[in-house]
């Protein structure tokens, strides 16, 4: 496990360091993977890659796998090149869509990693389509692998519980979660006289802004910002939910949610969800199977869907039961983990893919 400021190759033998630097000569400082990074950060990533390559050699590994296609995959890619290993990675969300430098440079860096990897797994069909389009014209193997949920830990309660009209929203308090639209939707529902309460669980840079919005809308007795919670606290909060919502939007820098875990946790517990059509959210909900879908940034539509969920208990129960079955089919942690393990075993046995370097 590497921490942000570790220098794990500091104790590497001098002859090994020379061999390592020579093996990385192809990755010049002008290469797109280094764009926007300080000299100190470049050195740290190269040192981390050196440490990973050395440890992989000591352990007799033949394949490396990284999560997130940003720095973690840069380290895995360099380590694989330095130690003549194979590598693959799982691409999630910010690492695919966020604008780090500019559109052209980010595109080149991402294409390079797609081309060099034995395969790239990603967590939604929407992501897979985007990455395959990005990789057009280069050899790249992009595969869909949904995130998985522990179906035993996140399970429906043994008996039906009347939770009244309680909305739960869980996530980091950042723009892409769309919580400002949720507060506006709550104000619309309150103006219509609908009885409800709403808990927003999480912390982040927008907390003060959201608290002020709640006060300005006169919702302090209905909408509560509960702060961050442990997983046990999240499960207990979800058990009290009538409906779960996450009104995702695309942030101004392109960042967005890919397959929000809290929505998977909710449907595993047979709690229907109200979310938006951003990225992989429709793949969670299906054709009105697991909840309701609305356009991103549309507080009026969000208020309508939440009102529907709160006031139609039989429909809510039906979609909740369908949600659990959908989760069992698509998002079972055990099954999806076994699939990734099979892919890794297969990749470790294949001949090395010829390394091709993109023009810098």
Least confident range from 28-37, 94-103, 167-176, 287-296: namely 28-37
What pLDDT sits at residue 148? Answer: 95
pTM for the structure as a whole: 0.86
Q: What angle do CA 295, 300, 303 make, to 5 degrees?
A: 95
Q: DSSP string covering 206-223, please?
A: THHHHHHHHHHTT-TTTE
Q: Binning pLDDT at 50, 70 and 90, where does residue 354 land? A: very low
259-315 confidence digits (pLDDT tens): 999 999 999 999 999 999 999 999 999 988 999 999 999 999 999 999 999 999 999
What pLDDT sits at residue 32? Answer: 83
150-162 confidence digits (pLDDT tens): 999 999 986 655 5
Spacing of C-alpha 333 from chain mean position? 15
Q: Is 329 left (phi over 0), alpha (psi -120 to 50) or beta?
A: alpha
Name the 3-class secondary structure at 339.
helix
Residues in the chain: 360
Cβ–Cβ < 8 Å for 60, 31: no
What pLDDT sits at residue 297? Answer: 97
For residue 355, pLDDT beyond 80: no
121-149 confidence digits (pLDDT tens): 999 999 999 999 999 999 999 999 999 99
Q: What is the average pLDDT across 50-62? A: 91
How far is residue 293's CA from residue 285's CA, in Å, rounded to a whole number? 7
Q: What is the average pLDDT across 86-112? A: 93
What pLDDT sits at residue 348? Answer: 84
Tokens of 63: 């394949």
321-342 confidence digits (pLDDT tens): 999 999 999 999 999 999 999 9
208-246 confidence digits (pLDDT tens): 999 999 999 999 999 999 999 999 999 999 999 999 999
Residues 174, 124, 116, 16, CA torsion sign: positive
The residue that leads in pLDDT, 158 or 184, is 184
For residue 15, pLDDT beyond 60: no
Q: Binning pLDDT at 50, 70 and 90, where does residue 29 land? A: low
Q: What is the average pLDDT across 97-101? A: 90
What pLDDT sits at residue 4? Answer: 42
Measure the CA dihedral 46/50/51/52, to 10°.
100
For residue 76, pLDDT beyond 90: yes
């Amino acid at each position: 496990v590497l921490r942000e400021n570790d220098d794990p190759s500091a104790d590497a033998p001098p002859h090994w360091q020379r061999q390592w630097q020579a093996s990385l000569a192809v990755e010049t400082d002008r290469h797109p993977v280094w764009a926007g990074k300080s000299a100190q950060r470049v050195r740290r990533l190269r040192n981390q890659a050196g440490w990973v390559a050395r440890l992989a050699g000591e352990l007799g590994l033949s394949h490396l796998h990284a999560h997130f296609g940003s720095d973690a995959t840069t380290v895995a890619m360099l380590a694989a090149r330095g130690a003549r290993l194979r590598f693959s990675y799982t691409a999630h969300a910010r690492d695919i869509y966020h604008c780090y430098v500019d559109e052209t440079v980010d595109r080149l860096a991402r294409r390079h990693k797609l081309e060099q990897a034995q395969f790239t797994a990603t967590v939604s069909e929407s992501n897979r389509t985007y990455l395959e389009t990005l990789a057009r014209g280069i050899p790249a193997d992009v595969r869909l692998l949904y995130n998985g949920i522990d179906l035993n830990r996140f399970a429906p309660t043994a008996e039906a519980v009347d939770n009244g009209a309680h909305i739960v929203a869980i996530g980091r308090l950042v723009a892409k979660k769309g919580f400002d639209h949720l507060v506006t939707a709550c104000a619309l529902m309150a103006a219509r006289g609908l009885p409800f309460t709403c808990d927003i669980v999480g912390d982040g840079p927008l907390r003060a802004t959201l608290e002020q919005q709640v006060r300005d809308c006169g919702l302090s007795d209905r909408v509560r910002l509960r702060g961050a919670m442990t997983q046990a606290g999240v499960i207990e909060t979800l058990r009290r939910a009538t409906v779960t919502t996450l009104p995702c939007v695309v942030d101004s820098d392109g960042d967005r949610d890919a397959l929000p875990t809290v929505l998977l946790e909710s449907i595993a517990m047979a709690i229907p969800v109200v979310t938006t059509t951003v990225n992989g959210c429709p793949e969670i909900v299906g054709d009105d199977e697991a909840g309701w879908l609305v356009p991103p940034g549309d507080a009026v539509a969000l208020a309508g869907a939440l009102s529907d969920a709160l006031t139609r208990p039989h429909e809510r129960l039906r979609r909740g039961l369908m949600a659990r079955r959908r989760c069992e089919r698509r998002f079972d942690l055990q099954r999806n983990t076994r699939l990734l393990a099979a892919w890794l075993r297969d990749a470790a046995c294949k001949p090395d893919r010829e390394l091709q370097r993109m023009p810098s």
